[in-house]
C-alpha cells in the first residue's frame, strides 16, 4: 500500500444521496472510479453499472427510514448531495431535515461508525452562517422531523438560503460529538456550478459572479470540479479534517473579503452579515 492510497476508496462502501444528476452524479463516478462499492438514493432513476439504486423521497420520513433500512451497513462514507431550489414544495425537508434524519438513523442503526465520514453539499449562499447562529441553533434544537418542518414553515424559513446556513451550522455543531464516535463530518460550499438545477435557475444561480468569471477567464464550475473536494473530505487522506465548510467557489468570496476584486466586496459583506438576526 502506497501513501497515495489514502485518497482511494478500495474496499469501502459508500452511499450517495441525490446521485442521479449534477454534483451527486459526479460523486458517484469519482468514488466508483476510486474503488468504492456504491449505493445511490434518489427520487429519479439511476442506471449505472455496478451501482445499487434505492428510491428515496427526502420529504417523506417513512421513505427515508425504509431506504436506509434497505441500504443497511456498513457505510464508510455518506455523501449528502440532494437539494432543490426555492419554490419547491418540501424544500425545508429535502434540503436539510430529511438529510439530518437519514444521517442520524444511519448512525443510530450502526451503519456509519468508527472511521466513517459524512459529506454535505451546502452552497455559497450559506457563507454567513457564523453570523446567524442564534436562529440556526434554535432551529437545530428541534430534532423531531415533523416539528422541525412546522417550525420552518411557521417562521418563514422554508427557503434555500436558510437550509444552507443550517447545513453549515450543523456540520460545525456535530464535529465534536461525532468525532467521539470516530466519525468525521464536513461540507463544501460551491459557487456557481453547471448542473441541471442551476440551469433551471440560470439567471440567479449561473448569473452570480459572472463579472468575476469574465475578468478571470473562467467558466462556472463543472460538477466534477465540486465532486473532487467532497470526495477528498470523506477519504482517509482527510483524516485530520472535520467540522469544516470548504468554500469551493473559484476564489470569489476570498477576493471579496480582501476586496482584490472590488465588485465582490458588497456581495460578500451582505452574505456575511446576519440574515435572520444577530449571532449571539
Q: 167 to each of 83, 170, 213, 279, how far by Cα in Å?
A: 11, 5, 27, 16
What pLDDT is recorded for position 93?
Answer: 98
Model pLDDT, residue 277: 57
Mean pLDDT of 131-142: 96
pLDDT given at position 198:
80
The model's pLDDT over 14-67, given as tens digits with 9 standing for 90+, comes to 999 999 999 999 999 999 999 999 999 999 999 899 999 999 999 999 999 999
What is the average pLDDT value for the chain, to the nearest integer? 94
Residue 241: band (very low, low, confident or very high) from pLDDT cuts 50, 70, 90: very high
Per the model's pLDDT, the better-predicted residue between 206 and 106 turns out to be 106
- b/e code 109-121 from CB counts within 10 Å (16+ = b): bebbbeebbbbbb
Domains and CATH numbers, the chain: 3-272 (3.40.50.720)
Whether this model's pTM surpasses 0.75: yes
Query: pLDDT tens for residues 79-107?
Result: 999 999 999 999 999 999 999 999 999 99
CA atoms within 13 A on the CB side of 247: 16
Amino acid at each position: 500500500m502506497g501513501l497515495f492510497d489514502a485518497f482511494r476508496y478500495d474496499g469501502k462502501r459508500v452511499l450517495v444521496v441525490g446521485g442521479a444528476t449534477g454534483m451527486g452524479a459526479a460523486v458517484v463516478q469519482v468514488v466508483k472510479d476510486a474503488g468504492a462499492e456504491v449505493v445511490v438514493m434518489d427520487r429519479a432513476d439511476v442506471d449505472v453499472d455496478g451501482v445499487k439504486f434505492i428510491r428515496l423521497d427526502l420529504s417523506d420520513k417513512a421513505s427515508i427510514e425504509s431506504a436506509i433500512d434497505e441500504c443497511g451497513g456498513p457505510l464508510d462514507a455518506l455523501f449528502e448531495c440532494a437539494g432543490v431550489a426555492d419554490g419547491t414544495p418540501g424544500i425545508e425537508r429535502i434540503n436539510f431535515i430529511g438529510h439530518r434524519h437519514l444521517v442520524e438513523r444511519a448512525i443510530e442503526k450502526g451503519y456509519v461508525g468508527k472511521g466513517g465520514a459524512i459529506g454535505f453539499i451546502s452552497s455559497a449562499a450559506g457563507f454567513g452562517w457564523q453570523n446567524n447562529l442564534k436562529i440556526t441553533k434554535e432551529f437545530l434544537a428541534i430534532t423531531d422531523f415533523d416539528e422541525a418542518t412546522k417550525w420552518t414553515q411557521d417562521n418563514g424559513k422554508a427557503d434555500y438560503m436558510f437550509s444552507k446556513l443550517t447545513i453549515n451550522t450543523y456540520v460545525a455543531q456535530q464535529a465534536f460529538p461525532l468525532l467521539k464516535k470516530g466519525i468525521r463530518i464536513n461540507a463544501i460550499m460551491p459557487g456557481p456550478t453547471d448542473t441541471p438545477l442551476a440551469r433551471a435557475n440560470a439567471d440567479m444561480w449561473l448569473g452570480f459572479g459572472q463579472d468575476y468569471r469574465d475578468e478571470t477567464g473562467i467558466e462556472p464550475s463543472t460538477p466534477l470540479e465540486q465532486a473532487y473536494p467532497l470526495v477528498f473530505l470523506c477519504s482517509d487522506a482527510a483524516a485530520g479534517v472535520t467540522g469544516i465548510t470548504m468554500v469551493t467557489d473559484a476564489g470569489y468570496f476570498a477576493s471579496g473579503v480582501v476586496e482584490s476584486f472590488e465588485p465582490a466586496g458588497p456581495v460578500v459583506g451582505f452574505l456575511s452579515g446576519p440574515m435572520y438576526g444577530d449571532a449571539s
